[in-house]
Chains A and B, each alone.
Chain A
Amino acid sequence: MSEFHLYMAQRLSALVMAPFVIVHIGVMIYAIQGGLSAAEILGRTQGSAFWFAFYGMFVVAVSIHAAIGLRTILGEWAGLRGGMRDGVSALIGLGLFALGAQAVWAVTA
């Protein structure tokens, strides 16, 4: 992918995530009242198509966004270049997606 495509993917994933983050913060402020429990979290999310779609799209967007952001940092601060930088970033993105997908499945299935 060209630098332009990565730039656009970074900005578009940010735009997709902005409403997700606002809702996520709202849910956190609501859910933290009276403490957290697995039963409370699962009671809200398990079997819910809405939360499956919400967190599913959130995970896809954040995996893309974080991988491209870390690619920039790896280049500017860690001095990685070329295929090494692209490869490490792609692995980070895929790893985040795998972990995130597992988490979404765990709380909504």
Chain B
Amino acid sequence: MKVARAHPLWLAYILHRLSGLGLALFLPLHFWVLSYALNDAAKLDAFLTLTEMPLVKMAEFGLVFLLAVHLFGGLRLLALEWLPWSAPQKTWAAAAVAGSFLVSTTFLLQAI
């Protein structure tokens, strides 16, 4: 029997799940920092200065990649489930990853 995990679409599945999990864990921190704007804009600014650190820029690059790959991978899944079957699923999955690298690298190049 062929091991399912050797299939490229298993990688697409695990990437979608882990990116979703990562984004869900990040969201409370994201909301918490933004809510400082309400009564302590100076504290928000202090947080935002952290975004100048190279390590934080790389983390942001990673987060933008997770968001983009969850978006593109999710659109592939919706098309798979709701639209008539189209054969090149592996190509779409690869395109989702490639498109996400393009988007997140564009972000990084603007950030540095």
Tell me the A residues contacting B by CB distance below 8 Å: 11, 14-15, 18, 21-22, 24-25, 28-30, 32-33, 35-39, 41-42, 62, 66, 69-70, 73, 92, 95-96, 99-100, 102-103, 105-107, 109
Q: Is the CB of B68 within 8 A of A25?
A: yes
Complex Cα distance, B42 from A70, in Å, reads: 34
Q: Mark B72-83, 1 if CB is under 8 A from A, else 0.
A: 001100100110
Q: Is the CB of B51 within 8 A of A35?
A: yes
Residue of B nearest to A26 (CB): B103
Overall SS of chain B's interface: helix
Q: Are B51 and A18 in contact (CB under 8 A)?
A: no
Q: Is B93 an interface residue (CB 8 A)?
A: no
How many B residues touch A, CB cutoff 8 Å? 37
B residues near A36, Cβ cutoff 8 Å: 48, 51
Binding site for A on B (CB under 8 A): 17, 20-21, 23-24, 27-28, 30-32, 34-38, 41-42, 44-45, 48, 51-52, 60, 64, 67-68, 71, 74-75, 78, 81-82, 103, 106-107, 110-111
User: Within 8 Å CB of B74, what residues of A?
Assistant: 14, 18
Q: Looking across the interface, which residue of chain B has its beta carbon closest to that of A55?
A: B34
Query: Which residues of A lie under 8 Å from residue B35 when comparing CB positions?
Result: 99, 102-103, 105-106
Q: A99-B31, A103-B34 known; 10 other A-B pairs, CB under 8 Å?
A: A14-B74, A14-B78, A18-B75, A30-B110, A37-B48, A41-B37, A70-B24, A96-B31, A99-B27, A106-B35
